[in-house]
Each structure stands twice: as structure tokens, then as C-alpha cells.
A and B are shown apart, each in its own frame.
Chain A
Amino acid sequence: MADFFLINSLILSILVLLCLYRVVYGPGVFNRLVGASVIGTKTLIILLLIGFLYGRVEMFIDISLVYALLNFIVTISAAKYFQRRGAM
């Protein structure tokens, strides 16, 4: 059971590395924003899997809840900022 969580979190972290490519090489600001928001949701699930791996589920659920809130707020504020500035 624990191995299942470990394998899944490893797969997800490899996918995060792939998304990092889009964050670094994204042609414009908005491609980087997409990469950042995608990495944010992936780390949310990795966090929860680690919580299940260590058995301390309650604590990690609260952490991932806060992380989901922050990820949403960051994406919205970045979109609002770049809409005003019209960065290419």
C-alpha cells in the first residue's frame, strides 16, 4: 500500500519536472503562468500522497487545502496583473 503511494508521487514529481520545461522555455508570460498553475495542482496531490504515506493524514490535508487556496489566488492575481500590463 505504501509503495503505491510512493510510486504515484514519484510519477507525479517526474511530470512536474516535465512541466518545468514549459515554465522555463514558455514563449510568453502566459505559458509560464500555465506551467506554474499546473505544477501547483500537481504538488497538491503529491502533498496528499505523502500525507497518506507517513500516516499523518489530518495535518497534510490542512496543508494541501491551504496550498489549493494559495494556488488559486496566485493564478488569479497574476492574470489580473498581466491583463493590465499587457505583457507579451
Chain B
Amino acid sequence: MTILAMVVISIGTFFFFTSTIGLLRFPDFYSRMHATGKGETLGVLLSLFGLALLSGWSFASLKILFIAAFIFITSPTATHALLRAAFDSKVKPWTKDGKMIREAEVRRK
């Protein structure tokens, strides 16, 4: 059981590593958000699940699973809020040939 937990935690750390690489190497804000939003959530879920496995059938693992459920709900919401804010303040997405895509109409509240 502990071997399984160690494997799951190391896979979670691997996903943290890939989301950090995505954060550093991608050309613009939107693709960075694309990488970190998913990578972080998956990394956190896997690590928390591994830690819950480690602490067995106890109150602690129940709380760890609650944290995982909470992160699973809030992390995409935070990502969405950041993207909406960036899109509304007209952060330009990166395009390969540098030509701007058709000026997306910005929803003004």
C-alpha cells in the first residue's frame, strides 16, 4: 500500500514539474494559463490522493480528501476568473505570424 502511495505522489510531483515547464516556456499568458491550470490541479489531486492512501482509514485522510475535493472545484474557477479578467483587459493572445486575429468583441459589463 505504501509503495502505491509513493508511486502516486511521485506522479503528482511529475505533473507539478510539467506544469512549471509549461509556465516558463509558453509564449503568452493564455497558453501559460492553459498549462498551469490543468497541471496544477492534477498534480495536487494525485499528491493528495497519495497522502490520503498513506494515512489509511483515519480522520486525517478524510480531511485530505476534502482538501482534494475543494481544490478540484476551486482551481478551475480561479483559472477561469483570471482568464476572464485578462481577456477583458484586452491581453493580446500570441499568434505565430504576429498578425492579430480578428479583434474579438470584448464583453463590457
Q: Measuring CB to CB, which residues of chain A are less than 8 angstroms from any residue of chain B?
A: 1, 4, 8, 11-12, 15, 18-19, 21-22, 28, 30-31, 33-35, 37-38, 41-42, 44-45, 48-49, 52, 57-58, 61-62, 64-65, 68-69, 72, 75-76, 79-80, 82-83, 85-88
Chain B residues, CB < 8 A from A88: 89, 91
Kindly name the residue among A30, A37, A48 whose own CB sees the greatest number of chain B CB atoms within 10 A: A30
User: Would B78 and A45 count as touching, CB distance under 8 A?
Assistant: no
Name the residue on B nearest A77 (C-beta): B81
A37-B36, A72-B78, A82-B89 provided; 5 other pairs, C-beta below 8 A?
A8-B10, A19-B23, A30-B85, A38-B40, A68-B71
How distant is the Cα of A29 from the Cα of B31 in the complex, in angstroms? 15
User: Would A12 and B90 count as touching, CB distance under 8 A?
Assistant: no
Docked complex: B41-65 residues within 8 A CB-CB of A: 43-44, 47-48, 51, 54-55, 59-60, 63-64
User: Would B29 and A75 count as touching, CB distance under 8 A?
Assistant: no
Q: Which applies to chain B's interface (DSSP): helix, strand, loop or mixed?
A: helix
How distant is the Cα of A48 from the Cα of B33 in the complex, in angstroms? 25
The number of chain B residues with a CB under 8 A from chain A is: 45
Name the residue on A nearest B9 (C-beta): A8
How distant is the Cα of A82 from the Cα of B16 in the complex, in angstroms? 27
How distant is the Cα of A76 from the Cα of B103 in the complex, in angstroms? 26
Chain B residues, CB < 8 A from A48: 47-48, 51, 64
